[in-house]
Structure 1
Amino acid sequence: MKLADTAHTTRSWRIHEIAGDFALEDVWALDTPGGPDDFDKLVKQFSSGNFPDGAPLPVRALWALRWKLGGLLGLDERSSGLDARVGSLRDRLPDDLRGTPTGPDEDWLPFTPLYRLDDEFAAEMANRTMHGVLHIAWVEDGQGGYRGQMAVLVKPNGVFGRAYMGFIKPFRYTIIYPALMRMIAREWKTRG
């Protein structure tokens, strides 16, 4: 379920110190009910999940089209990514976050993990259109349990980046995110 921005902005997440100049694009409640110690399970699920391969055909088709167009337009070339077009947010990490684990052993591509705490994880990616952060958190659900929360923060790359983000927004909200939320919930229930 999509949440108000305040579900992210009013919490004292460490990401605010690091990516304060990024715009909050989305905040979602994840259907991942659990206990106080289940956050590692959520982080592992994100890194080893079956998205987009296990998503419905329209999502897989959009995803494939995006990567095909990205290849043709050079959106994802190494020269437009982290430590090339933009510096990594790793350079902004306070000393106490530099030594934290960054995630499980699974591959996070296209994201690069930044840090992981007991209730917060952040990873970044950059391409020709934007520099983005995936923020996953573990929050109390108000009913004695916990659940995941996902936020996406972005810094568009100029006019082209802002136009691109505006263009893909309807696809994200009507096709990508609903399928992703259902998949996250389904995988969470399957993994027990």
Structure 2
Amino acid sequence: MRLPDTAHTSRPWRIHEITPDFRLYDVWALPTPGGPGDFARLVQNTAEGDTMNNPSRLARALFALRWKLGALLRWDQSDTGVGTRVPTLRERLPEDLRSLPPGPEFDRLPFNSVYLLEHEWAAEMANRTVQAVMHLAWVPDGHGGHRGQMAVLVKPNGLIGKAYMAAIGPLRHLIVYPPLMRGIEESWRRSTPPPLQGPKT
């Protein structure tokens, strides 16, 4: 379920300290019900994820088209990513976060972990069109349990980035995210909780 921006902005997440120049594009309640210690399970599932596991054939086709288009237009070349076109957000971290392990490596998604806390995780990616942050958090669900919450923050790269984000907006909300939520729910049901990692906030 898509949430209002205040579901993210009203909480004292550490991500606010390092992304003042990013725009918040989406906030989603994730179908991942659990207890207070289940955040590590969500982090693990996400790091092991793959866009081509999306349960929607149309969404998978759109992802495949995006990767082919990116290859054709050289959007995803090594010189357009984090550490080349843009510096990693880890350089912006305050000392207490920079001294911690950043979090897990991704198996297939084009993200790098920035920091991991007990109830908060940020990962970044960049290409020729945007620099983006996926922020996952673990929040009370209002019914005595907890669930995941995902925010997407984006810094477009000039006019090409703004045009790209405008073009994919309807596709994200109508085609990509609904089956993505179903895939997250299915993965959550199949997974088993790993040991909790990361310091307390």
* TM-score normalized with structure 2 length: 0.92
Shift of 1:78: 1.1
Shift of 1:83: 1.4
Secondary structure of the equivalent of 1:131?
strand
> Matches of 2:83 and 2:149 in 1, distance apart?
28
Shift of 1:171: 0.7
Partner of 1:42: 42
Structure 2: which amino acid aligns with 1:147?
Answer: R
Partner of 1:178: 178
Partner of 1:150: 150
Distance 1:3 1:54, change over 3 A: closer
Partner of 1:67: 67
When the two structures are aligned, how many residues end up with a matched partner? 192
Structure 2: which amino acid aligns with 1:148?
Answer: G
> Matches of 1:105 and 1:69 in 2, distance apart?
25
Partner of 2:25: 25
For structure 2, the residue ranges without an aligned partner over 5 or more in a row are: 193-201
Distance 1:88 1:109, change over 3 A: same
Partner of 1:168: 168
Shift of 1:49: 2.6
> Matches of 1:108 and 1:101 in 2, distance apart?
20
Give the superposed CA RMSD: 1.2
Structure 2: which amino acid aligns with 1:85?
Answer: R
Deviations 1:74-125 (A, max 9, x none): 0001111111111110100111001223223552630010000000000000
> Matches of 1:101 and 1:109 in 2, distance apart?
19
- Taking the TM superposition and a 5 Å limit, the aligned residue runs for 1:22-171 are 22-104=22-104, 106-107=106-107, 109-171=109-171
For structure 1, the residue ranges without an aligned partner over 5 or more in a row are: none
Shift of 1:187: 0.9
Deviations 1:11-47 (A, max 9, x none): 0000000111100010000010100000000000101
> Matches of 2:89 and 2:181 in 1, distance apart?
27
* TM-score normalized with structure 1 length: 0.96
> Matches of 1:85 and 1:58 in 2, distance apart?
31
Distance 1:137 1:35, change over 3 A: same
> Matches of 2:97 and 2:65 in 1, distance apart?
37
Structure 2: which amino acid aligns with 1:15?
Answer: I
Structure 2: which amino acid aligns with 1:125?
Answer: M
The answer on whether the counterparts of 2:104 and 2:113 sit within 8 Å (CA) in structure 1 is no
The answer on whether the counterparts of 2:119 and 2:138 sit within 8 Å (CA) in structure 1 is yes
Structure 1: which amino acid aligns with 2:10?
Answer: T
